Amino acid sequence: MSIQIPRGTQDILPGEVEKWQYIENKARELCGKFQYNEIRTPIFEHTELFTRGVGDTTDIVQKEMYTFTDRGDRSLTLRPEGTASTVRSFVEHKMYGSPNQPVKLFYMGPMFRYERPQAGRFRQFVQFGVEALGSKDPAIDAEVISLAMSIYHSMGLKKLKLIINSLGDKESRAAHRAALMEHFTPRIGEFCKDCQSRLQKNPMRILDCKQDRDHELMKSAPSIIDYLNAESKEYFAKVQKYLTDLHIPFTVDPNLVRGLDYYNHTAFEIMSDAEGFGAITTLCGGGRYNGLTEEIGGPETPGIGFAFSIERFIAALNAEGIELPVNKGIDCYLVSLGEDAKDYTVVLLQKLRLAGFSAERDYLERKIKAQMKAADRLNAKYVAILGDEELNNKVINVKHMESGEQKQIDLESFVEKFQELNQ
């Protein structure tokens, strides 16, 4: 039997990959404008980075990590997300000492989670993410959210819903935690095993349980919004004011708890509102993680960021019927007949390409009709036809495929003339 691709992964083939490149380029371009710089970290890290960073009560750490022991007996894990690695690198390279603060970074690359594969959920997926470290100005929360929205808007997505919540600071969370314990403890026996262990370690995780989400105690659970202290409330109010000033519509959802432990204050998700998007509607998730840097061994540094997967981005584009301007075709296809003409096009093709044009010729000894078909398939703007007779007369016939207009051009100055035609 032939070997097949592992479950939950996919090959991105030519024809499709151009969409990925387009999204990646646009996102990079916008990061440049917003002044976020690229960081590249390894695809695997010491397992402890994620157990400490992401949190050992999360589904990611408990059930989804690709962890292995290397030949040196170290426990390593394929990164399930990018924030912990970015913060590790921030600490390791003492970026907190840089005169440019806050440190604003972006990354892009494959992440790995052993999840149950379904539409929009893969075991290897590509995340694009940003992290801003070193500022607790609520304006940077608004900037990060606005960057995410700008990336979506720049590609024409409209059916988006931004939901935000505040998870408060340490004090607010402690008060909320006590209330949650009081709420769930008497009936915790009715919940799944995971929730039972979450009760002591991190009762907020219960609210994120997929198995027990319809239990009646979920709806009546104490909401973090009611436990925010004055400082957290003021912070959240400022974030909302800035979003309003930036004309970014949002909904406050007090039930939004993210699947990772490091969040506090602002948490947000961007969902697709498009019909037929599928069951998983979250396109992008992020939030503030003051305290994570200390957890990873660095000095006290506030941070906020987000990440989205390109897989879900493309699903959202498809659901809204948006065609990205890719696969636009090539500038010129060189059709040749006769041995000498064929030989001549080898160098002519190179000249065209070096002059900046996308160009192709036949490599399969095809007849003229089949070469024209090949040009059509490549969506060539022009076809240049060279036979031995033209070669003898030092001319070449150039046809504009859309209008059918044809011109005879002096062969020696073909590249310059072709440049003029394309001006």
- Is residue 104 classed as helix, strand or coil in its secondary structure? strand
259 scored as a contact of ligand HAM (CB under 6 A)? yes
Least distance from ligand HAM to the Cβ atom of residue 284, Å? 5
Assess 107 for contact with ligand HAM (CB under 6 A). Answer: no
Bond before 138 cis per omega within 30 degrees: no
Question: Should residue 81 be labelled a site residue for ligand HAM when binding is judged by CB under 6 A?
Answer: yes
Task: Tell me the window of 16-24, 40-48, 75-83, 151-159 that interacts with ligand HAM (CB under 6 A).
Answer: 75-83
Is 165 a binder of ligand HAM (CB under 6 A)? no
At CA 162, angle to CA 159 and CA 164, rounded to 5?
A: 165
> Considering only CA atoms, which of 80, 85, 39 is closest in space to residue 59?
80
**Which one of residues 55, 222, 286, 302 is an interface residue with ligand HAM (CB under 6 A)?**
286
In angstroms, what CA-CA distances link 284 with 272, 312, 347, 364, 376?
9, 9, 48, 46, 39
Interaction of residue 102 with ligand HAM, rule CB under 6 A? no
Shortest gap between Cβ of 53 and ligand HAM (angstroms)?
9
d(CA 263, CA 288): 5
Which of these ranges, 119-127, 213-221, 225-233, 347-355, lies near ligand HAM under the rule CB under 6 A?
119-127
Contacts of residue 227, defined as CB under 8 A and 6 or more positions apart, other chains included, come to 168, 172, 173, 175, 176, 179
Q: What 3-state class would DSSP assign to 10?
A: coil
Which of 83, 89, 272, 371 is in the footprint of ligand HAM by CB under 6 A? Answer: 83
Does residue 302 belong to the site contacting ligand HAM (CB under 6 A)?
Answer: no
Do 362 and 373 meet the contact criterion of CB atoms below 8 Å apart? no
Q: Are 245 and 267 in contact (CB under 8 A)?
A: no
Q: How far is the CB of 419 from ligand HAM (least distance, A)?
A: 43
Task: Answer whether 236's CB lies under 8 Å from 142's CB.
Answer: no
**Residue ranges for the binding site for L-histidine?**
81-83, 113, 127, 131, 258, 262-263
Q: Which residues contact 410 (CB under 8 A, 6 or more apart)?
A: 394, 395, 417
Residue of this chain nearest to ligand HAM (CB atom): 305
Q: Which residue has 């007849």 as its token pair?
A: 367
Rule CB under 6 A: choose which of 78, 108, 284, 386 binds ligand HAM.
284
Amino acid at 101: Q
The verdict on 110 binding ligand HAM (CB under 6 A) reads no
In the β-sheet with 395-400, what is the strand arrangement from edge to edge?
359-361, 332-337, 382-387, 395-400, 406-410
Place of tokens 């151009």: 18
CB of 8 to ligand HAM, least distance (A): 8
CA dist 358 and 354 (Å) reads: 9
115 is an interface residue for ligand HAM by CB under 6 A = yes
Near ligand HAM by CB under 6 A: residue from 53, 55, 102, 129: 129
Give 114 or 217: the residue with its C-beta nearer to ligand HAM.
114
Is residue 309 a contact point for ligand HAM (CB under 6 A)? yes
Cβ-contact 377, 360 below 8 angstroms: no
Tell the smallest beta-carbon distance from residue 378 to ligand HAM (Å).
Answer: 32
Q: Which of 306, 333, 344, 414 binds ligand HAM (CB under 6 A)?
A: 306
User: Binding-site residue total for ligand HAM (CB under 6 A)?
Assistant: 28
Interface stretch with ligand HAM, choices 184-192, 300-308, 327-335, 380-388 (CB under 6 A): 300-308
Residue range at the interface with ligand HAM (CB under 6 A); choices 121-129, 169-177, 321-329, 383-391? 121-129
Strands (E), 221-331: 251-252, 264-272, 282-288, 303-309
232-255 b/e (C-beta count within 10 Å ≥ 16 → b): beebbebbbebbeeeebebeebee
310 to 369, contacts with ligand HAM by CB under 6 A? 311-312
Give the residue with the Cβ less far from ligand HAM, 259 or 338. 259
Q: Site residues (CB under 6 A) for ligand HAM?
A: 81-83, 113, 115, 120-122, 125, 127, 129, 131, 259-260, 282-287, 289, 305-309, 311-312
